[in-house]
Structure 1
Amino acid sequence: MSDQAGPIQEMLAANVKRGRTLQGLSISELSRRSGIGKATLSQLESGNCNPTIETIFSLSRALEIPVSELLDTRPPGDLTVVRAADVEPLVGEGVDLRSLRHIRSAHTDLDVYDQQFRAGHRQLSQGHTGTEHTVVQSGRLEVTVDGYEVELGPGDYVGFDASLPHSYLAPDGPVRSVLLLLQDRAGRQPRSAPHSAAL
């Protein structure tokens, strides 16, 4: 726990409380839906808890809103430059995730992330809203989606329904990749690549 809230803690505190209030949920009910303890949620809403990737995706799933609505969104412009060193990473069991850009269209939200996987640590997700598209830039990455496993190398792509249980593992060494997370604003899953092609 940090003595002073950082940018991610402050953004998450405000956005979780806003999302919970708009849906008329008590902290107890959000705790039940997300599997996160009430004390932890209270600390999150006061900006006194360091969120993990797992926590943020659990909140996204429980509140049924994109991850980007829990984190800072940058205003659109003609030119956007994001320096990796300037973005505070979300730290998970096996990955550091940096949010680079949120793009909103009439029907779809698109979030762009830089992912850096640590060797030998599996990053698990029970599922969340949206469709994931991942392109490996360097290293070897094992991806398991609903029990089906594929191995990706540099330049390889995988796409899948993110509501399915999934995990990532860098078995040999660090892996860097780009994650595109699509969320249909009407509540439907955007179409990804055909399952046979993606996996």
Structure 2
Amino acid sequence: MLPGAPPDDEELGARIRALRLERGMSLRALATALGISPSALSQMERGKMRPSVTRLFQIVSILQVPLAAAFGEDVPAPAAAEPVEVKPDEVVLARSGDVPALSLGHGVEYRRLTPVPIPGVEIFESVYPPGSSSSQDAEYLRHSGHEMGSVLSGTLTLDIGFERYELGPGDSIRFPSTTPHRIRNTGDVPAVAVWVNLP
């Protein structure tokens, strides 16, 4: 794979499998926690099925790793006592194309906007093609932390709990990630947003 190229389905599946194995979790145990069949999870791990945004967030949440781990970033074990050190006086540069995007179900793409992972915060650009959704079968996602997003172009529909919000260019939102939520692009042009996850 070329540097900065999006990981293909097999590579993403292999990363999910490696993270599962590093955490000492069986295929059946993770599938049960996700509420899917072991066969469906096996297809994801073999690159035969691409996870939705919701499913990927569920996987990393259960495995207690940041979303950056799906990009192939090294992550400490959940029990690690020492946090990753960020050197405030160090300059880190990533050129366009250095950081790969993740292409998920429905064609949704996530690209990390920081040159290296930053402990405690994840900042991504997300692109939702027309008709795409963060989930399969209209399911909602719940996980720990808070989310903040700002739409740069297009329109996104967010269902948060029992409320629906339409966000256009320049609109932003913040909500607790523990509230069931899903994101959709019901428009006819791609929607681009900057998304911040605070675990």
- Match in the other structure for 1:104: 118
Q: Is residue 2:96 matched to residue 1:82?
A: yes
- Match in the other structure for 1:113: 124
* Whole-Å separation in 1 of the counterparts to 2:9 and 2:164: 32
Calculate the TM-score normalised by the size of structure 2.
0.69
> Per-residue deviation at 1:73?
2.6
Long gaps (5+) in structure 2: 1-6, 75-85
Instruction: Looking at secondary structure, tell me which structure has more strand per residue.
Output: 1
Note closer, same or farther for the CA distance 1:111–1:154 as it changes in structure 2 (3 Å cut). same
8 Å contact kept, 1:89–1:97:
yes
Calculate the TM-score normalised by the size of structure 1.
0.69
Q: CA RMSD in A?
A: 3.0
Long gaps (5+) in structure 1: 1-5, 184-199
* Whole-Å separation in 2 of the counterparts to 1:58 and 1:42: 16
User: Sequence identity, in percent?
Assistant: 23
Note closer, same or farther for the CA distance 1:71–1:9 as it changes in structure 2 (3 Å cut). farther
Q: Show the 5 A alignment for 1:1-199.
A: 6-7=7-8, 9-14=10-15, 16-45=16-45, 47-52=46-51, 53-73=53-73, 78-83=92-97, 87-93=100-106, 95-101=108-114, 102-105=116-119, 108=120, 110-124=121-135, 125-174=140-189, 175-183=191-199
8 Å contact kept, 2:132–2:184:
yes
* Whole-Å separation in 2 of the counterparts to 1:129 and 1:119: 28
8 Å contact kept, 1:82–1:100:
no
What is the aligned length?
A: 172
Note closer, same or farther for the CA distance 1:25–1:73 as it changes in structure 2 (3 Å cut). closer
* Whole-Å separation in 1 of the counterparts to 2:8 and 2:133: 27
